[in-house]
Amino acid sequence: MAISMWVSNASAQVAGNPTKLIKANFKNEVARTLINESNSTNQVSKKAIVHPKSTGTNPNASKVVAVTKVDISTSSNTFGSLISEAGVANYNSDVNVLSYTNRKSIGLIGAAYNSGTVQTRFSLDYGVTWDTSLVVFSNLAPVNRYPQGAILNPPGNTVPLNAYAVATAPLITSPTWDGGTFGSIRLDSTNASFINIQNATATVPQWMPRLGMCSGSNGNAYALGDNYDINATAPTLDGFVINRGVWNAVNNNLDWDQKLIYHAFAHDPTDNSQIFSTLGNIAFAPDGITGYLVTIGRDSINDYLSPMPIIYHTTDAGASWSLYGTYNFTPIFDSIFTPNANGLTRPFYTSRNGFDVAVDANGKIHILCEVAQAASNHVDSLNYASFAGNLFDTYEAANGQWGAVFAGAVAAAPPEANTGTVNPNVFGWTVNWDARAQICRSASGTKMAYIWSDTETSVSVNNEYPNLIGASADFTAMLSSNPINYTLGGTYDANNYWEFVSVLGWDSGSDFVVPTFTSRQLNSGGLDTDPWMHQFVSGVKFSPTDYINTIANPVTITGIKEVAFVSNTTSIYPNPASGNATINVDLKQNNKVTITVLNLVGQVVETLNIGDVNSGKHAYSLDLNKLNSGLYLVNISIGSKVVTQKLNVQN
């Protein structure tokens, strides 16, 4: 009944496609990340794929000329490149190392090597030449699949080859998935170390730790997994697992720990399934101290009637996390969406075309994904939305208000596996894929780039022959670019598969360079299970003249936000301090107090378990004599809340 009342409408301020009323099948969206290669054994060989070219004119022809590709390395199939949420591409600005992590190259020989061997290809000259021989780790049994990786620079190091390739990958004893592998190796091929953490002995059970890999200048590495048992008949998301590698200067390796973050999603009244459309993603500021975990779903308590971002936050290098906010983002889209027949401008966030996050210069979160328009408040229609492929960067401004930048519209529909019944791909591939929307931060953190893959609809209504498209926003000038097609009409037209983008870019003169990677097929088989070549894409960049559209001012939104303790105050004196410091706490009600001191890699160096404290003013002495000079983080826990302050020790 509620559906019949829907009248499709176009967005007021976005140049999107004709909208379609679609029911979002969240369970299928999640399942797209769980492909098992055993599904591919019955494929029949096909002829080589012909990539039809569009006859349209590309207004960005000058940009296309600058795009070239460099072959990095091969793999036996494309299953290591399935999901764009994996942290496969990385650029470390501290030592200017660019990397791409994937599974074993064809022809790589070694006694312990198999198809699950994890390699990191790296470049010391911005992608011109590549080292393709580095092996991070290899397991004989169980084996690894779906790796991700980053470059980690130990604090104080300035020599590129003394930096480390760090990687994580799920473990599988076919057909059962079980925990993951966490490892690192110096770029000069020395000091390798890895650990297998399987669920039977794990502190925190997890599956598929292959999301959002990143590193910080504090020497930490981070990767996201999930307490989501995909071996189960009906998996339930019982939490997000933050995997943190802390730099150990004694053995020059990483000490890994896991932290479970539970969130209660709302449930679909028709079948009681949890309502979420992504297994989450994480991002950290370059210092590795401030970070965010973002998922998309309906919160069981603060339910805003359509899936929206749910955000967790850390300010102490991942040692502790708190719920940053469940918000109603509707006010942002009041000026973007035209009210529908039910009077709604409420947004409906979905990972249908990819999902990525980044942290800007102000330590604030940016969330890139498709945002549709919710159809109705009726209980029968909460999972319906008007999908038009519109990609937005939803971001928090420095003043705490929120805004949205329109990046562009995806024209083609996500193809399904060859057994699909709605949009089965014409290739016979066993996988499905989307527009792979990803975000890249500029060196200064004041600009964001948005890259995705899309097919000209004159060629195919499904996204089967993708071009590379991108847009960017300058949050200092408050200007954005139009979408730029970097490959249409050029050498690489319609042949840009499994795109990945580094979380960080670099500056070349006044241009913002976005490190991008794609893959191409190597033989005439034309299957996803045949060999592929992975390539670095040079020339994806934004010039100052590209920024021509005014970004609307952010607005105030409502919701449940992480708040400091209302009317409670904390302070540290003196600061800087030597020998001793005094921590002052003024409580407005009785509560439990704990004080923890951490170094900048998140290691606990001092703890004061104060216990139950009455309301009022209290002072606690902190002995600093055992600490080296430097900057520390002081976590003052009051009940379930944490206030973090910085302490400068000068002993």
What mean pLDDT do residues 596-604 have? 84
Distances (CA, A) of 395 to 178, 230, 429, 547: 35, 32, 36, 18
pLDDT-based confidence at 11, cuts 50/70/90? very low
Residue predicted with more confidence, 380 or 311: 311
Do residues 249 and 123 touch, judged by C-beta distance below 8 A? no
pLDDT-based confidence at 8, cuts 50/70/90? very low
CA distance 73 to 600: 36
pLDDT digits (tens, 9 = 90+) for 640-650: 677 777 888 98
pLDDT-based confidence at 144, cuts 50/70/90? very high
pLDDT digits (tens, 9 = 90+) for 264-294: 888 877 777 888 888 899 999 999 999 999 9
Residue predicted with more confidence, 613 or 364: 364
From the number of C-beta atoms within 10 Å of its C-beta (0-12, 13-18, 19+), residue 504 rates as: buried
Residue predicted with more confidence, 36 or 557: 557
For residue 146, pLDDT over 60 is answered with: yes
Total residue count of the chain as it appears in this document: 651
Find out whether the peptide bond into 576 is cis, omega within 30 degrees of 0.
yes
Put residue 374 in one of left, alpha, beta given phi > 0 → left and psi -120 to 50 → alpha: beta
pLDDT digits (tens, 9 = 90+) for 353-405: 999 999 999 999 999 999 999 988 887 778 788 889 999 999 999 999 999 99
pLDDT at 196: 96
pLDDT-based confidence at 524, cuts 50/70/90? low
Angle at 109 between CA 104 and CA 110, to 5 degrees: 100
CA distance 447 to 441: 6
Put residue 208 in one of left, alpha, beta given phi > 0 → left and psi -120 to 50 → alpha: left
Q: Strand, helix or coil at 478? A: coil
Distances (CA, A) of 350 to 163, 298, 520: 37, 11, 28
Residue predicted with more confidence, 449 or 6: 449
DSSP annotation of 535 reads E
pLDDT at 14: 55
Q: What are the φ and ψ backbone dihedral angles of 39, each rounded to 5 degrees?
A: -70, -15
Q: Strand, helix or coil at 206? A: coil
Number of Cβ within a 10 Å radius of residue 359: 22
Residue predicted with more confidence, 248 or 379: 248
For residue 551, pLDDT over 50 is answered with: yes
What mean pLDDT do residues 306-319 have? 94
DSSP annotation of 578 reads S
pLDDT at 22: 66
pLDDT at 23: 63
Name the least confident of 96-100, 374-378, 520-524, 586-590.
586-590
Q: Which residues contact 546 (CB under 8 A, 6 or more apart)?
A: 472, 481, 482, 484
pLDDT at 19: 58
Number of Cβ within a 10 Å radius of residue 474: 19
CA distance 3 to 565: 44
Across the chain, what does the average pLDDT equal?
88
Helix, strand, coil share of the chain (percent; to 5):
5, 45, 50
For residue 32, pLDDT over 60 is answered with: no
pLDDT at 408: 97
For residue 639, pLDDT over 80 is answered with: no
For residue 564, pLDDT over 60 is answered with: no
Q: Which residues contact 156 (CB under 8 A, 6 or more apart)?
A: none
pLDDT at 526: 73
pLDDT at 44: 47
pLDDT at 571: 81
Q: Which domains does the chain have, with CATH numbers?
A: 20-550 (2.130.10.10), 563-649 (2.60.40.1930)
pTM of this prediction? 0.86
Q: Which of 314-323, 423-432, 546-555 is modeled with the greatest confidence?
A: 546-555
Do residues 69 and 537 touch, judged by C-beta distance below 8 A? yes
What mean pLDDT do residues 110-116 have? 88
pLDDT at 432: 85
Put residue 158 in one of left, alpha, beta given phi > 0 → left and psi -120 to 50 → alpha: alpha
For residue 225, pLDDT over 80 is answered with: yes
pLDDT digits (tens, 9 = 90+) for 60-108: 999 999 999 999 999 988 887 888 999 999 999 999 999 999 999 998 8
DSSP 312-354: EEESSTTS--EEEEEEE-HHHHTTTSPP-TT----EEEEEEEE
Distance of CA 582 to the CA centre of its chain: 39
What mean pLDDT do residues 35-45 have? 46
For residue 167, pLDDT over 90 is answered with: yes
Q: Compute and round to an integer the Cα radius of gyration of the chain.
A: 24
Question: Which pair of structure tokens corresponds to residue 44?
Answer: 């029949």
pLDDT at 28: 44
Residue predicted with more confidence, 234 or 343: 343
pLDDT at 584: 86
From the number of C-beta atoms within 10 Å of its C-beta (0-12, 13-18, 19+), residue 51 rates as: middle
Distances (CA, A) of 562 to 82, 219, 232, 307, 362: 34, 27, 34, 19, 17
The fraction of the chain above a pLDDT of 70, given in percent, is 90
Do residues 296 and 278 touch, judged by C-beta distance below 8 A? yes
